[in-house]
Structure 1
Amino acid sequence: MSTIYKSEAGASEIQRRYQEVLRTWPVPAEHVRVPTREGETFVLVSGPIDAPPLLLLHGSGANTAAWRDDITSWSRHFRTYALDLIGEPGLSAPSRPPLASDAHALWLDDVLEGLGITSASIVGMSLGGWLALDYATRRPERVTRLALLCPGGLGRQKMGWLVTALLLHPFGRRGVRRSVGAITGLDTPQARPILDQVALTFTHFKPRTERLPLFSDDALHRLTMPVLVTVGGRDAMFDSEGTTRRVRQCVPHATVNLLPEVGHAILGQADSVLAFLRG
Structure 2
Amino acid sequence: MAEHTIYKSDEGKQNILRFYENYLNSFGFEMERAYVGTSFGRTHVLITGPKDGKPLFVFQGGNCINPMTLSWFKPLFEHYRVYAPDTIGHPGYSAENRISAKDDSFAHWISELMTYFGVEKAAFAGPSYGAGILLRLAASMPQKIACSVLICPAGIALGSKFEMITKILVPLIIFKGTKSAVQLQKIADNMSDGFMKEIDKEIIGSIFNYTKLEQDMPKLTEKRELLRYTAPTIVIAGNKDVFFPEKKIGPAAKEIIPNLANYEVFNMGHIPSEEQLVVINEKIKEFLRLHYS
TM norm structure 2: 0.87
1:201 corresponding residue in structure 2: 207
2:289 corresponding residue in structure 1: 278
Listed as ranges, the matches of 1:44-63 within 5 Å are 44-63=46-65
Post-superposition Cα deviations, 1:154-201, rounded to whole Å, max 9, x if no partner, equal 11254323234224432215255235314412534x733322222222
2:169 corresponding residue in structure 1: 162
Write the distance in 1 (CA, Å) between the matches of 2:183 and 2:63: 13
* 1:181 correspondence with 2:183: no
Give the total of aligned pairs.
277
Listed as ranges, the matches of 1:219-234 within 5 Å are 219-234=225-240
Write the distance in 2 (CA, Å) between the matches of 1:170 and 1:181: 17
2:179 corresponding residue in structure 1: 172
- Secondary structure, in 3 states, of the residue corresponding to 1:40? strand
Check conservation: 2:70, 2:84, Cα contact below 8 A: no
1:157–1:72: structure 2 CA closer, same or farther, 3 Å change rule? closer
Listed as ranges, the matches of 1:126-137 within 5 Å are 126-137=128-139
1:51–1:133: structure 2 CA closer, same or farther, 3 Å change rule? same
**Aligned match of 2:217 in 205, 211, 218?**
211
2:265 corresponding residue in structure 1: 258
Write the distance in 2 (CA, Å) between the matches of 1:63 and 1:275: 27
1:40 corresponding residue in structure 2: 42
2:16 corresponding residue in structure 1: 14
Give the Å deviation of 1:270: 2.2
Give the Å deviation of 1:71: 4.6
- Secondary structure, in 3 states, of the residue corresponding to 1:85? coil
What letter is aligned with 1:207?
Answer: L
**Aligned match of 2:140 in 120, 133, 138?**
138
TM norm structure 1: 0.91
2:77 corresponding residue in structure 1: 75
Write the distance in 2 (CA, Å) between the matches of 1:211 and 1:54: 24
Write the distance in 2 (CA, Å) between the matches of 1:23 and 1:238: 31
Write the distance in 1 (CA, Å) between the matches of 2:180 and 2:202: 10
What letter is aligned with 2:57?
Answer: L
- Secondary structure, in 3 states, of the residue corresponding to 1:35? strand
Gaps of 5+ in 2: none
Check conservation: 2:176, 2:209, Cα contact below 8 A: no
Write the distance in 1 (CA, Å) between the matches of 2:171 and 2:10: 27
What letter is aligned with 2:10?
Answer: E
Return 126-135 or 148-157, whichever deviates more: 148-157
Write the distance in 2 (CA, Å) between the matches of 1:39 and 1:121: 24
Write the distance in 2 (CA, Å) between the matches of 1:92 and 1:204: 17
Return 153-162 or 128-137, whichever deviates more: 153-162
1:43–1:204: structure 2 CA closer, same or farther, 3 Å change rule? same
Gaps of 5+ in 1: none
